[in-house]
Amino acid sequence: VFAEATYQWKDGNLVYAKASFAEGFSVESNMEYDNKVNPFYNTYCKFDRVDFLASTFHWADNTLGVSKNNLTKISIRFQPNGEVGSELGENFIFEYSYEYDGDYPVVQKSTQNVSVLRYEYVK
């Protein structure tokens, strides 16, 4: 995979990502978060270099654990020719809501496809 990636971080959260691929298309993502603890933070991998993982996942999904807070909204723009601002392309918005036990999520709901993810913690 030949790609170039740009990332912006704010307060421990990945808020912007853009991956431009050699084939001429790009994916640009903007993310928003709550102020609660993401239980997957730093669990699986470090997202600090351009590699296959970084160019495959263009956003900070909670289960990747790259951001310290829980993802509430992601706006994704696919550009077939890689040009920012091009009228070609597709936009997608995904939003999530949570139920909490203290600072930790116990239920995550997707507003688009009505999926529900339940978190269970073992003491």
pLDDT digits (tens, 9 = 90+) for 14-66: 899 888 887 788 888 899 999 999 998 887 666 555 455 555 555 567 777 88
User: What is this structure's pTM?
Assistant: 0.80
Give the pLDDT band (50/70/90) at residue 115. Answer: confident
Is the pLDDT at 80 greater than 70? The verdict is: yes
Q: Tell me the C-alpha to C-alpha distance, in Å, between residue 93 and each of 22, 29, 59, 98, 113.
A: 25, 10, 12, 17, 12
- Predicted pLDDT of residue 3: 72
Which amino acid is it at 96? Y
Tokens coding 13: 């959260």
Contacts of 73 by beta carbon, 8 Å cutoff, 6+ apart? 31, 32, 93, 94, 95, 96
Euclidean distance between CA atoms 25 and 69, whole angstroms: 29
Are residues 18 and 6 in contact, defined by beta-carbon separation less than 8 angstroms? yes
79-108 average pLDDT score = 82
Tokens coding 107: 């239920």
